[in-house]
Structure formats: structure tokens, C-alpha cells
Amino acid sequence: MRQQTMNNPTNFFKSIRFRIALVFVLLMIIALELLGAFFVRQIEHQNLATFQQQITLPKYITDQITTALKNKDSNEGNHEIQDILSNLSNTNLQEVQVIDRTGTIRGTLSVSGQQTIGQKTTDLNAQKAISGEQSFLKTRTIKENGDSKELLITILGNNNSRVKDISGVLIVKASLAPVYKNIESVMQLFIVAGLIALIASIGLALFLARTLTKPIEQIDEQTTKIANGDYSKVNHIYGSDELGHLARSVNELSTRVEESTETVNAERNRLDSVLTHMADGVLAANRRGEVTIINQAAADFVGINREDAIGQNVIELLHLKGQRTLRDMLENLDDFRVDLSDDSKDLLVQAYVSLIKRQSGFISGLVVVLHDITEQQRIDSERRMFVSNVSHELRTPLTSVRSYVDALAEGDIDDKEMAQNFLGVVQDETQRMIRMINDLLELSRMDQGTMAVKLEVVNLNSLFDFVLNRFDMIIENDAKNRETPTKTYNIQREFSSEDIWVEVDPDKFTQVLDNIMNNAVKYSPDGGTITARLIKTKTRAILSISDQGLGIPRKDLNNIFNRFFRVDKSRSRAQGGTGLGLAISKEVVEKFNGRIWVDSVENQGSTFYISLAYVDDAEIEEEDWGAE
């Protein structure tokens, strides 16, 4: 915009170029005026002096007139004077009057003035000259009929201060017109020359001003560009004068500004990318608590667009209204927890606040770093829950063991039958504790990743069938050994005719199937049917075990695989359950890249599913060939 200053005609008069030219021209005018005035005055002076000389009658003529005045015969004298005057050849003279010492006009050059001869003069200067007064004017310029005239009064005779012998005076009148005409023509010449000089000086001044202002304009253009972030322009350095130095300095300045802007930008980009890729949320706010910077993580935490968050109040954004004020945050820099959970997610963050201080100590804002501690919190609470569960689970059998042992110690040992009974309970409880400790050890090994897994490609149909056969056998044994079997059930197989091969650890997988089958038996009604299915889909093998038992409430379906979870604690415990079986099963199946889930309708039954990636027949054949 400033660039237009020079080009815009209205602003031209405000430009330095115009001002320099104006000063130059004004100086020129003043110089010309002074010179002109002095020159004209000098010429006028000189011309007038010359003119006076020209109209002064030579001495031999004034001597002749003096002699004629001294003639006793005044008429003769008058004639003589008239002769002398008429013989004068000076064309400048308009009038010559001879006056004698009595003040009488004795002769005149003008024809019309002839009758004044013999009359007394009225000219004051002539009278004063005759009377010998000092104050009479020897020469003077008078105006007569609109014409400037020179009047020259010469005393005839001896006007010496000591010997005063004045014969008369001579008055000479001459027109000054030719003198002024001459001066005028000189003046005209001077004016023309002055005008030419003035025009030339304006041109020169503009040119000079331009050579001065061009580098300034260039620097102006460059600094405007620098201000707009364009550092491409480089000043041409015209010389080693002050402007040359300035141009060089501005060039250097431009390079420095460019370098430091680049550094600042690079720093900002680095900071931006650090902030963007940080897992922690970062937000900065000004003194009024309005958010000025927010990274993606922080925006995600509070569930808002980064753009929308800018300008919002940090207290409202972090849902801290009613709990904490901005003042609290600025004065108390302790970290605190913020619950940012909503319907879609659980989110707990730890907020760390620090102040942004200027060098003067003035607090200009604050930075809040938000660290997601949801997972840590979950792990902590799970660990606490686990410890509490384990203690609780162990305390129950231990308390029961202790009470039976106490009873025995207090004398019940003497009652053989009762003692036998008590010892049986103690044995059962101890067994259960050992089972639980074993389960826990196994889970711990899995958690630590130290569980040994021996993967083998096995025929799932055979493996499943083998497990089910064992359960069939148990029923048979039960039926044979006891007169009234505890529980009867019947196992139905719905297997795909095709052999399905999977890669699992057979021992561990058998343990999983045993556990699910045991549960099915445990939670089935007497005489119920347990259906075992095995199918092959496009991508996976799916195995399922359905029972007709009491089922699992819908709300518990997601918790069933958690450690120590039991739908009905007392019932499960009564059945000798530890609440760890399904948790172990889940870990094991996931070790084989499989998935386990349950579907159930309360009071109708449950179905447990396991899906596994199957191994292609072609691969198995290849392996067989390879083995041979």
C-alpha cells in the first residue's frame, strides 16, 4: 500500500521527492529574487550615473555661460547665452535654463519658454542654490506629464566655501525614458534567463530528488514485503553512501528475519507434531481461562473438535464446574483427577497444571497435561479385587477346616463316625483349596507368559469325541457303582462328517473341554441332554456344547469369563467350583488364536461356543509327505 505513495498523484505532494524538489526550487527562486533585485538596482544606479554625466554640460560651455552672465549688458548677455544654448547638440536635453544670481531666468532652450526670460524663477532648488544654502538638491528625479525626468542644477561661478562668487545656476532637464527603456530590456532578459534557470532547476531538482528517493522507495518496498512475509526481494546497492549502508543493512535484516522466521516455523512445526502425536492431551489457556491451544488427544478426551474447543472456557471444557475454579488452578498447582466418562466410554484422566510466566513474572496463562489413567485404574482395581477375592475364597474353606479341626480337638475325635465325617469334609475343603491354588498358579503362568504350550495339529473330531467318551464313561460308572446315581444325563453328538484339523495343545484344550462339559453337567437338571456340535464354516471350525440347565442371566453373560465370577456363589461353591475354570478356558483358547463365547436363555439352557482357525487338508497332506 505504501508503495502507491509515489505513484498516486494525490500523495505525490506528500512525498519526500516533492519536498526536496520544492525546497530546491524555493531556494532557487529566493536566490534569483535577491540577485535580480541587486542586479536591477545596480544597473539602474549605474545608468542614472552615466546619464547624469551625459547631461552635465562640459566645463567650457558653463564657463562661456558664466562669462555671458557677467556681461554688463544684460540683453547682450542673454543673446550670448541663447547662442550657446542653441548650439548644444546633446539630444538628451529637454530643457536648459540659465538663471542669474538675482534669480532671473536669462536663457532657456525650450521654444515655448522664451517668454519666461527676464522673469524670476520659481524653482525652489534654484533659489536655494543661489542663496548658497547647503540643502538644495543637485540632482533629482521628477515626474512631469507622466514622464520621469532628471533635473540637474549646476552652480555657475565659484562656489568655494571661502570665496563665494556665484554668477547663477544652470538647470538642466532630461527625460529618463531611454534610461528606463534600457533597464527594462535588461530586466526582460534577466526574467527570461531566470525563468529558463527556474525550469531547468525544477527538472534538475526532480531528477536529484529521484536519485535520492529511489533507494528509499526500494527499501520501503522491501520492508513492506518483509512485513508481509516475502523475503525474496534484495535491494540493489547503489553506492557506499548512507543510503547504500541502509540498503545493505535492510538486506541483512531481511536475511536474518527470514532465517529466524524459518527457525521459529520449524520449531512450531516440531512442537505441533510432538503435540499431535502425543498420547497425552495438552491444552493451553490464557489468563481468562480461554483455550488457545489444544492437541488432538485432549480434544478426543473431551469429545470435541479442536477448532470448536479454541476460545472455550477450560473449566467448562474439563467438566470442572462446581469442583474447581480457574483461580484454584492458578494458585494450587497440585495434579488432580478428572472423570471424563460419558455414555460411550469410561475415561479417567490425571491433570497436571503448570503456569505460563513471562520474564517479568506476569502469569499469562496455564498449560494442562491430561494423562489417561483409565487402564491403570482398571488394572489397579482388578488387582485389588483379585487379592480380595483370593483372600475371601481361601478364607471360607480355611474357616470351615479350622472349625472341624477345632471340633475334633475338643473331643469329637472320640466319636469315630463323626470324626470320619469331619475328616472327610476337611479333605474336600483341602482338595478344593489345592485345586484353586493350582488354577491360580496356572493363571499366573499365563499372565506372565511362562505357560508352556505344545502346539500340534490334531483332529478335532477325534479329540472332542475322546472327551465326550470319558463323560459317557463316568455316567456308566456312576450307574454301575452306585445304586442311585447322583445325576443322569445324556450326551448327543452332532458332528460334521468331514474331519476338522486344528492346531492346539491337546492337553490344554482337553482341559478346556472338560471344564465346559463339567459345567454343563453341573448346571444341568437331572436327565437333561447335553448336545455337542462340531461344524466347519468357510473360515473357522466351530464347536459348541449346549445344556438344558438353568442358564445364565443376560446381564452376566459378559462377566462369565472373569476370574472368580459366579452367577450364584453359594451354589457354585457347594458344587466345588472355584470360579476360575472359564477364566482359564478363555486364556487358553485365546492362546490358540481362538474365541470363546456363550449364549444363554435363563431357565432354558446355555450354549458355549469355541471357534478356531482350521488347518487345510492340503497342508496336512503336505506335512504327512514331508514326515515320510
What is the x/- site pattern for ligand ADP, positions 577-616, by CB under 6 A?
xxxxxxx----------------------x----------
Task: Give dist(CA 209, CA 20) in Å, integer.
Answer: 6
Q: How distant, in Å, are the alpha carbons of 56, 122, 253, 544 from that of 85?
A: 13, 21, 91, 165
Grid cell for residue 590: 485365546
Q: Of the two residues 11 and 430, which places its CB atom closer to ligand ADP in the complex? A: 430
Q: Of the two residues 48 and 474, which places its CB atom closer to ligand ADP in the complex? A: 474
Tell which positions 156-195 bind ligand ADP, by CB under 6 A.
none
- Burial code (b: 16+ CB inside 10 Å, e: under 16) for 466-487 equals ebbeebeeebeeeeeeeeeeee
DSSP-derived letter for residue 13 is T
Task: Tell which residue, 50, 58, 135, 142, has the closest CA to residue 94.
Answer: 142
Contact 380, 374 (CB under 8 A): no
Q: Of the two residues 258 and 439, which places its CB atom closer to ligand ADP in the complex? A: 439
Tell which positions 529-568 bind ligand ADP, by CB under 6 A.
547, 549-552, 560, 565-568
Contact stretch for ligand ADP (CB under 6 A) within 158-166, 331-339, 347-355, 572-580: 572-580
Q: Residue type at 148? A: S
Q: Pick one of 82, 222, 544, 572: the residue that binds ligand ADP (CB under 6 A).
A: 572
- Shortest reach from residue 622's CB to ligand ADP, in Å: 39
Q: How many CB atoms lie within 10 A of CB 21?
A: 22
- Shortest reach from residue 516's CB to ligand ADP, in Å: 7
- Annotate 545-570 with three-state secondary structure: EECCCCCCCHHHCCCCCCCCCCCCHH
Q: Of the two residues 106 and 566, which places its CB atom closer to ligand ADP in the complex? A: 566
- Annotate 498-526 with three-state secondary structure: CCCEEEECHHHHHHHHHHHHHHHHHCCCC
Q: List the beta bridge partners of residue 97.
A: 108, 171
Q: Of the two residues 324 and 522, which places its CB atom closer to ligand ADP in the complex? A: 522
Residue nearest to ligand ADP (CB): 577
Q: Residue type at 388? A: S
Task: Tell which residue, 568, 587, 588, 590, has the closest CA to residue 579.
Answer: 568
Q: Of the two residues 365 and 577, which places its CB atom closer to ligand ADP in the complex? A: 577
* Residues binding ligand ADP: number (CB under 6 A): 23
Task: Tell which residue, 73, 351, 22, 345, has the closest CA to residue 201.
Answer: 22
- Shortest reach from residue 443's CB to ligand ADP, in Å: 11
Contact stretch for ligand ADP (CB under 6 A) within 339-347, 353-361, 463-471, 573-581: 573-581
For 326-359, give the DSSP string. Answer: HHHHHH----EEEE---SS---EEEEEEEEEE-T
Determine the longest span between alpha carbons in the chain, in angstroms.
Answer: 210
Tell which positions 514-533 bind ligand ADP, by CB under 6 A.
515, 519-520, 523
Q: Is 215 in the site for ligand ADP (CB under 6 A)?
A: no
Q: Of the two residues 552 and 612, which places its CB atom closer to ligand ADP in the complex? A: 552
- Shortest reach from residue 532's CB to ligand ADP, in Å: 13
What is the x/- site pattern for ligand ADP, positions 294-323, by CB under 6 A?
------------------------------
- 213: burial class by Cβ within 10 Å (0-12, 13-18, 19+)? buried
The 3-state DSSP composition of the chain as helix, strand, coil percent (nearest 5) reads: 55, 20, 25
Q: Of the two residues 94 and 518, which places its CB atom closer to ligand ADP in the complex? A: 518
- Shortest reach from residue 546's CB to ligand ADP, in Å: 9
Tell which positions 431-450 bind ligand ADP, by CB under 6 A.
none
Task: Give dist(CA 597, CA 612) in Å, integer.
Answer: 12
Q: Cβ neighbours of residue 12 under 8 Å, at least 6 residues apart?
A: 6, 18
Q: Of the two residues 24 and 386, which places its CB atom closer to ligand ADP in the complex? A: 386
- Shortest reach from residue 404's CB to ligand ADP, in Å: 22
Q: Of the two residues 220 and 599, which places its CB atom closer to ligand ADP in the complex? A: 599
- Shortest reach from residue 561's CB to ligand ADP, in Å: 8
What is the x/- site pattern for ligand ADP, positions 472-511, by CB under 6 A?
----------------------------------------
Task: Give dist(CA 154, CA 371) in Å, integer.
Answer: 123
Tell which positions 74-133 bind ligand ADP, by CB under 6 A.
none
Contact stretch for ligand ADP (CB under 6 A) within 14-22, 330-338, 402-410, 570-578: 570-578
Q: Of the two residues 564 and 592, which places its CB atom closer to ligand ADP in the complex? A: 564
Q: Of the two residues 369 and 513, which places its CB atom closer to ligand ADP in the complex? A: 513
List interacting residues with ligand ADP (CB under 6 A). 515, 519-520, 523, 547, 549-552, 560, 565-568, 572, 577-583, 606
